[in-house]
């Protein structure tokens, strides 16, 4: 019986894949499987993974014939997984030795639907510990209670799929899959759905995932049109939260987060190609117009001046917004 399935998408990461695979080997156990999903890489990554399938205990190699993006690659891994528990890792990140056995022991002891963990952010040689924004540790709770307050950073603002482990019953309930085709922000609708619909979760102070920032070629570093998928992702968050029985209580948080993300992208607009920058303004203006306007006014009245001013200017772009709707 497979106890833990580790889903690892790879795309053009030949310079990092060996470190990732080496760290998986240092976490291998006879009842673990490592599902290595190559998302149609164009470099030597497939050769590295084919070799790993032969050499890494528990490795299962799956290759996409067409690039589908991170969300689709993770879904392929979920559909392939046989484990009682599932977790994720990205193909350019790595793990501390023995981390997965400790992570598995934590969720088995707590007995909840999912567990969230801290992680180490790595930028060049700098190392920074990033904490789950939830103060209560090693305590099983209703995940819905960790969405609010609206004006604070909460668990839904810490969306990293690899920072945790998930019971198979979430797959059976349709809660663990990602929205196919999202190229960025794919984990935002996912984390909101988990917190709205799962029954139990806990946070543990377990470090072991090393998240590599500033990787050349990653979507966070590239200002192309794929970055604009954050709008589709947050439209989904708003739509699904609006349909929730507690929409009146939860929507202010969803709207505020969406506004903050739009303001963030606008503050970095110079990194985008000119045509993409124009699309960003137009699509963001349309998104602002789609939001519940009374809630939007409340959010803008309570945000800091810099962000609220930027969003108010966007709100006034009525013709552009209508054109993009």
Residue 214 has what pLDDT? 79
- What gap in Å lies between CA 5 and CA 78, rounded to an integer? 9
For the chain, the maximum distance between any two Cα atoms, rounded to a whole number of angstroms, is 61
Question: What pLDDT was estimated at residue 105?
Answer: 98
Q: Is pLDDT at 102 greater than 90 in this prediction?
A: yes
Contact 113, 31 (CB under 8 A): no
Q: Which residue in 1, 9, 4 sits closest to 61, CA to CA?
A: 9
Contact status, residue 159 vs residue 190, Cβ threshold 8 Å: yes
- Mean pLDDT of the 264-277 span: 93
Q: Which helix (H) or strand (E) holds 37?
A: strand 32-38
As a whole number, mean pLDDT of residues 281-301 equals: 96
Instruction: Give yes or no for residue 240 having a pLDDT over 90.
Output: yes
Residue 325 pLDDT greater than 60, yes or no: no
- C-beta of residue 230 within 8 angstroms of C-beta of residue 261: yes
Mean pLDDT of 112-121: 98
The stretch 282-303 carries a mean pLDDT of: 96
What is the reported pLDDT for 216?
Answer: 57
Whether 314 shows a pLDDT value over 50: the answer reads: yes
Q: Are strands 164-167 and 85-88 parallel, antiparallel or unpaired?
A: antiparallel
Summarize the confidence of residues 196-215 as an average pLDDT: 95
Residue 10's Cβ-side half-sphere holds a number of Cα atoms within 13 Å equal to 32
DSSP state of 227: G
| Domains in the chain, CATH or no CATH each | 4-213 (3.90.550.10), 225-324 (no CATH)
Residue recorded with tokens 């979430």: 170
Contact 282, 274 (CB under 8 A): no
Q: What is the pLDDT of residue 268?
A: 93
Average pLDDT, the chain: 94
pLDDT in tens, 87-97: 999 999 999 99
Kindly report whether the peptide bond that precedes residue 268 is cis, defined as omega within 30 degrees of 0: no
What is the arithmetic mean of pLDDT over 235-248?
98
Residue 190 has pLDDT above 50, yes or no: yes
* Mean pLDDT within 32-58: 97
pLDDT band at 317 (very low <50, low <70, confident <90, very high): confident
With cut-offs at 50, 70 and 90, classify the pLDDT of residue 262. very high
Tell me the pTM.
0.93
d(CA 280, CA 138): 41
What is the arithmetic mean of pLDDT over 128-133?
Answer: 98
First-to-last C-alpha distance (Å) of the chain: 50
Helix extents (H) in the chain: 14-25, 45-55, 70-80, 99-110, 168-172, 187-197, 229-242, 247-267, 274-290, 293-302, 305-315, 318-324
CB 77, CB 7: distance < 8 Å: yes
Q: Output the pLDDT for position 129.
A: 98
Residue 134 has what pLDDT? 95
The first and second tokens of residue 277, run together, are 């920058």
Average the pLDDT over 265-281 and give the result: 93
Q: For the chain, give the percent of residues with pLDDT over 90.
A: 93
Residue 291 in this model has a pLDDT that exceeds 50:
yes
Which pLDDT belongs to residue 106?
A: 98
Q: What single DSSP character describes residue 141? A: B
Return the pLDDT at 320.
44
The DSSP output letter for 12 is S
Cis peptide before 210 (omega within 30 of 0): no
How far apart are alpha carbons 87 and 24 in whole angstroms? Answer: 12
């Amino acid at each position: 019986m497979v106890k833990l399935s580790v889903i690892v998408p790879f795309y053009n990461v030949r310079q990092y894949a060996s470190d990732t695979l080496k760290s998986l080997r240092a976490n291998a156990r006879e009842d673990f499987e490592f599902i290595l999903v190559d998302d149609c890489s164009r470099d030597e990554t497939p050769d590295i993974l084919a070799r790993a399938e032969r050499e890494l205990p528990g490795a299962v190699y799956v290759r996409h014939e067409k690039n589908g993006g991170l969300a689709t690659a993770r879904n392929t891994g979920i559909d392939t997984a046989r484990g009682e528990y599932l977790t994720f890792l990205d193909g350019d990140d790595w793990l501390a030795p023995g981390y997965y056995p400790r992570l598995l022991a934590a969720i088995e002891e707590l007995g909840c639907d999912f567990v969230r963990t801290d992680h180490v952010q790595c930028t060049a040689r700098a190392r920074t510990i990033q904490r789950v924004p939830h103060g209560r540790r090693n305590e099983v709770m209703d995940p819905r209670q960790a969405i609010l307050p609206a004006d604070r950073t909460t668990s839904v603002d810490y969306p990293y799929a690899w920072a945790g482990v998930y019971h198979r019953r979430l797959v059976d309930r349709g809660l663990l899959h990602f929205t196919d085709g999202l190229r960025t922000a794919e984990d935002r609708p996912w984390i909101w759905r988990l917190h709205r619909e799962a029954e139990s979760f806990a946070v543990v102070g377990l470090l072991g995932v090393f998240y590599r920032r500033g990787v050349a070629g990653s979507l966070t570093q590239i200002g192309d049109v794929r970055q604009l998928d954050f709008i589709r992702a947050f439209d989904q968050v708003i739509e699904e939260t609006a349909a929730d029985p507690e929409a009146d209580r939860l929507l202010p948080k969803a709207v505020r987060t969406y506004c903050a993300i739009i303001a963030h992208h606008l503050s970095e607009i110079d990194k985008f190609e000119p045509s993409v920058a124009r699309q960003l303004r137009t699509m963001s203006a349309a998104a602002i117009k789609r939001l519940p306007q009374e809630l939007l006014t409340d959010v803008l009245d309570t945000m800091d001046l810099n962000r609220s001013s930027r969003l108010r200017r966007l709100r006034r772009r009525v013709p552009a917004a209508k054109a993009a709707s």
